[in-house]
Amino acid sequence: MQIKPFLFPVLIIISLAQGCSFSYSSKSSSNSSGGSSKSSASSSSSKSSADNEEYQLQVIGYTSAYVTTSDFDRDAFSRGISQIATANGITNWEDDEPTMIAIGQALKKSDITGSVYETYKAEIANSDADRMKLIQKGYEMKKD
């Protein structure tokens, strides 16, 4: 089987995401259970809007590539998003509004609909109602 050249960047991103090990995902889970969802807005608000937009584009690109090329594995997906977030100074991506909105935009961009969309939304948000609302907000605002 021959791999198409345009798939190399996607495969590299996915390989990096699945091969990297971060203690961050377990830390962010314990942080989010503490109810600190409002404090994360400051983690991205101190960045310039251009930096924030670039970060969101990275999240959209990664999420789109991941959901269209892999069986969904929340832990592997979380590691990839954690890597992008950490590189951009985001300390708690799971409760970061721009991150969740970008994920919603990526799901729309990838033409994920219906029950598949609802499953991704619940899995990525870890069934947290506030996170699911932000993903929905991003999904609804993305223009085709």
In a domain, 125, yes or no: yes
In a domain, 61, yes or no: yes
pLDDT tens digits, one per residue of 14-36: 444 444 433 333 334 434 444 44
pLDDT tens digits, one per residue of 73-107: 999 999 999 999 999 999 999 999 999 999 999 99
In a domain, 27, yes or no: no
In a domain, 38, yes or no: no
In a domain, 11, yes or no: no
Burial class from Cβ neighbours inside 10 Å (0-12, 13-18, 19+) for residue 47 reads middle
Q: Are 99 and 91 in contact, with CB atoms under 8 Å apart?
A: no
Whether the predicted model's global pTM rises above the 0.75 cut: no
Is residue 44 scored above 60 in pLDDT?
no
How distant, in Å, are the alpha carbons of 32, 124, 134 from that of 20? 22, 18, 27
How distant, in Å, are the alpha carbons of 22, 56, 57, 111 from that of 53? 24, 5, 6, 22
In a domain, 22, yes or no: no
In a domain, 47, yes or no: yes
Q: Are 110 and 59 in contact, with CB atoms under 8 Å apart?
A: no
Structurally, how many domains does the chain consist of?
1
pLDDT tens digits, one per residue of 55-78: 999 999 999 999 998 788 999 999
Structural domain boundaries enclosing 121? 43-141
In a domain, 4, yes or no: no
